[in-house]
């Protein structure tokens, strides 16, 4: 069957329109790395925990995407070598020691395991502009399931999750014979902004 020139023109126009619609409704947006942030909170514990302190760590977003189509998905990549200990209440020298411990083989071993990835496996709407996001977190060479609670605040996707360091083969740091240590469970807070 041969197509006439008008039929070929209609077919071509239809294909262009279909491509435009797929692009328009795919709704996959890269994350704005400069405006997005991840904060890690590590709390102290132990008999002499009053002599220790909680840690606040900034984890810059390297890259990521948010797909808000009918089959939503989220991907996030953080470079473990770029995590920074904030801890404003401690002296710079002590903060540098904490930074070295975090990056070293006792905790993140960032040189051997530089990439931290999150890939969603399901996104469930739980309310108006609220979702439960389940997925897999790749950290320290291990992959474990985690659950994120997410809400939309203007153009910001904000939320939190928590997990145990030991699930990823990381032993919580102990000092002074274990009388001062950090808790196994850490909390993650995130503020993700899609690129415009």
What mean pLDDT do residues 36-55 have? 69
Domain 27-192: which topology? Lipocalin (2.40.128)
Checking if the pLDDT of 132 tops 80, the result is yes
107 phi, psi to nearest 5 deg? -125, -95
The CB-side HSE value for 144 (13 A sphere, CA atoms) comes to 15
User: 191: which strand partners?
Assistant: 37, 158
pLDDT at 77: 96
Q: Which two tokens stand for residue 88?
A: 């404003």
Q: Residue 178's pLDDT band (boundaries 50, 70, 90)?
A: very low
Q: What is the pLDDT of residues 47-93, one digit of tens each?
A: 333 345 788 999 999 999 998 888 889 999 999 999 999 988 888 99
The CB-side HSE value for 98 (13 A sphere, CA atoms) comes to 22
Q: What are the sequence ranges of the domains in the chain?
A: 27-192
- How many residues in total does the chain contain? 196
- Alpha helices, DSSP H only, in 42-154? 92-103
Nearest-angstrom CA–CA distance, 145 and 165: 13
């Amino acid at each position: 069957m041969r197509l006439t020139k008008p039929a070929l023109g209609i077919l071509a126009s239809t294909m262009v329109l279909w491509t435009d619609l797929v692009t328009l409704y795919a709704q996959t947006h890269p994350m704005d790395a400069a405006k997005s942030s991840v904060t890690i909170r590590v709390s102290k514990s132990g008999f002499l925990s009053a002599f220790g302190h909680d840690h606040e760590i900034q984890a810059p977003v390297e890259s990521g995407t948010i797909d808000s189509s009918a089959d939503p998905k989220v991907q996030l990549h953080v470079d473990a070598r770029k995590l920074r200990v904030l801890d404003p209440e401690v002296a710079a020298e002590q903060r540098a020691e904490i930074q070295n411990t975090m990056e070293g083989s006792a905790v993140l071993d960032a040189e051997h395991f530089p990439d931290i990835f999150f890939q969603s496996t399901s996104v469930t709407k739980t309310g108006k502009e609220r979702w439960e996001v389940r997925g897999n977190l790749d950290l320290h060479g291990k992959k474990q399931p985690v659950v994120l609670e997410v809400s939309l605040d203007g153009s910001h996707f904000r939320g939190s999750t928590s997990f145990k360091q030991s699930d990823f083969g990381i032993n919580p740091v102990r000092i002074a014979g274990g009388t001062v240590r950090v808790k196994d469970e850490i909390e993650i807070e995130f503020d993700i902004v899609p690129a415009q």
